Amino acid sequence: MTTKASTVSKNREATATVKNEVKKKLTQSAIGLQVQELSISRIIPDSMQPRKSFNEEALKQLSESIEEHGVLQPITVRKSGKDYIIVMGERRYRASKLAKRKTIPSIVREYANNDVLEIQIIENLQRQDVEPTEEAEAIAYLSEKYLPTEISKRLGRTENFVRQRLKLSGLIEGFKVFVRNGEMTISLGVGVALFEPEEQQMMLETMGEDFSAHQINQMIKNQTYDLEKAPFDVNDEKLITKVGACVKCPFNAANQGNLFGDGKMVCTKSACYETKKSKSFLNLIDKSKKENVLLIPEIRKYWADDDNNQLIISQLEQNGLKVYLLDDVEIIEEPIEPTIEAIKTEYQHYDYSEDELNSELEEAIQNYDEELETYNSAMENGFVDGVMFHPKTYLDKVIFVKIKEDSKTENSTYSEPLANRKMAECSPEEQIVKINEREIRKRHIEHNKQFEDMVQMIRQTDYIEKKKALSVDEMVAFSFTLFENNVDYVGRQKYFSKLLGNTSKMTDVETVENFKKNFKKEIFYKLIRYILTKQVHFGESNHVNNLTNISFYNAMQGYYKTKIANIEKQYAEERNKRETRLKERIASLEKQVQELND
């Protein structure tokens, strides 16, 4: 039997063997080669060197060490005409130049060009200060020749580390910049690299110029799916034949290295996931029809008009199913047998003794027995087989279901308000009304999306940098912004009751056009001045320690200089009196101190 200690020992031996192999390859047949002092002027950095970035502060520290102790480890070079090209040791070379050294200890070796690059890559990757994106690109180069398992052995790194760096190499340049300057973490970079370059570019443009980890995380969350919560079998190869099973899919993060921790299965191909999700829902409908099982969406009547819920209801109706909502039925789910572990979890925030926990368990078991008896006798009490599913995730569970006697779903003459009734419950005339209402609602949603797209587009342009004076349309737009968002009811009645005129017979679009037609800058100025009086701060903020207050105080001097001066004078007089009394008090105390010292 293999013990844990023996396994650790074998792993150490394997790692040591790998390191020896690398060391052997690096030294080649260099035994007997002597260290030479070569002129730094004859040494050239390799333009193909995979390492591009060097920490300037660390170089400076190394150069100071070289000034004091010299170069303790020779660099490795290869002959190129009259000069020498660096194979290993460019950092020591750069630091020596900073230290103004004329020569540098070197070992001259011969290499085939491909071997040189591979050795440089391996040597660089075994350092501790390699920039992550360069590290990723270097490992990607090695992956053209070696499998991740072989690369991990050569580098003495875990296979998961190699796979993560391989994924990071797929990050577009626009995001690599943020990794290099430290704004984006490696894990977040890997998360973005899960997506195709076109999708990454879209994410980059959506984010705008300023990096936002929160925004990027949200975009990743919106475009990835936890396969452990999928409403379909992730092992099913026939659900969508062309793409096969999720467990083998390259877009499953679990097959791209441990990107989300603990080998978690996460789908990074949203279109494929949504297709499988829709297909699984259609399969659920077919099963319901074939097996005569009632299919119940988790929708209350209160939420029936939600667009997503309406889509679900419509799909069920189009497939010939009678739609029953949660309010129309009684449901019995299979009870879960309680355990002491579940009780401890439930009461983990309570300071319960073992006896109290066992007491809670006994009560839970008693309730479970009663629920189980109800569940087992469900069909005897008029319940039938059913399936309940969530309208967004499509996750489903088997239940027993019975239609309530007072359910109005089956009564086509049900006189509930038209907006609350389903299409099947309406007369042809009422259906026309509902169809028109739905179209109005859809148009409203469409307008919302259209407007949002337009605003996002404008935000990505240089609009706010424009030098032109504000146009009338811009001042009109700003006026409405101020009026709708900053003027309360009292202010509207007191100062702006005639601002828009009689709009009772106008649409919103006509109201704006009318305002523009009769627009005067005086109205705009009035709104601005009203807002200025509302935006000042009181309390600890005043006219000498707050930018808003200082600017307002200065602006008002142009209108009420005398009145402000009178207020200033009043406070100055009080302040002078107070400071005079304070000086007298301090003088008296100083006199007492002097007398004590004498």
For residue 405, give both structure tokens: 């006697």
Element (H, E) at 44: strand 43-44
Q: Tokens 């006509």 correspond to what residue?
A: 510
Q: How far is CA 307 from CA 262, 320, 441, 536, in A?
A: 37, 20, 9, 43
Closest by CA to 185, choosing from 158, 152, 159, 220, is 220
Dihedral (C-alpha) 239, 241, 246, 250: value to the nearest 10 degrees?
-160
* Number of Cβ atoms within 10 Å of the Cβ of 222: 9
Task: Check if the beta carbon of residue 316 is closer than 8 Å to that of residue 409.
Answer: no
Among residues 320, 296, 291, the alpha carbon closest in space to that of 309 is found at 296
What order of strands is seen across the sheet that includes strand 329-332? Answer: 294-297, 384-389, 396-403, 329-332
Q: Are the C-beta atoms of residues 101 and 80 closer than 8 Å to each other? A: no
* Cβ neighbours for 168, distance < 8 A, ≥ 6 positions apart: 132, 133, 136, 179, 186, 189, 190, 193
Burial annotation 262-280 (CB, 10 A radius, 16+ → b, else e)? eeebbbbbeebbeebbeeb
Q: How far is CA 116 from CA 32, 121, 571, in A?
A: 20, 9, 82
Among residues 21, 37, 56, 90, which one is catalytic?
90
Q: What is the dihedral of CA 397, 398, 402, 408, to 10 degrees?
A: 30
HSE, side-chain direction, 13 A CA sphere, residue 198: 0
Q: State the residue for tokens 């309680």.
A: 338
Q: Are strands 43-44 and 329-332 parallel, antiparallel or unpaired?
A: unpaired
Q: Is 90 a catalytic residue?
A: yes
Amino acid found at 49: Q
Residue whose token pair is 């390492």: 51
Cα 433 to chain centroid, rounded: 42
Q: Identify the CA nearest to 33 among candidates 112, 105, 113, 120.
A: 105
Whether 247 contacts 258, CB under 8 Å: no
Q: Is the dihedral of CA 574, 580, 584, 586 positive or negative?
A: positive
Contacts of 32 (CB under 8 A, 6+ apart): none
- Edge-to-edge strands, sheet with 83-88: 36-39, 103-108, 75-80, 83-88, 43-44
Instruction: Give DSSP secondary structure letters for 341-354.
Output: HHHHHHTTTS---H
Please name the helix (run of DSSP H) or strand (run of DSSP E) that holds residue 86, with its range, or none: strand 83-88
Cβ neighbours of residue 28 under 8 Å, at least 6 residues apart? 109, 111
Q: Which residues are catalytic?
A: 90
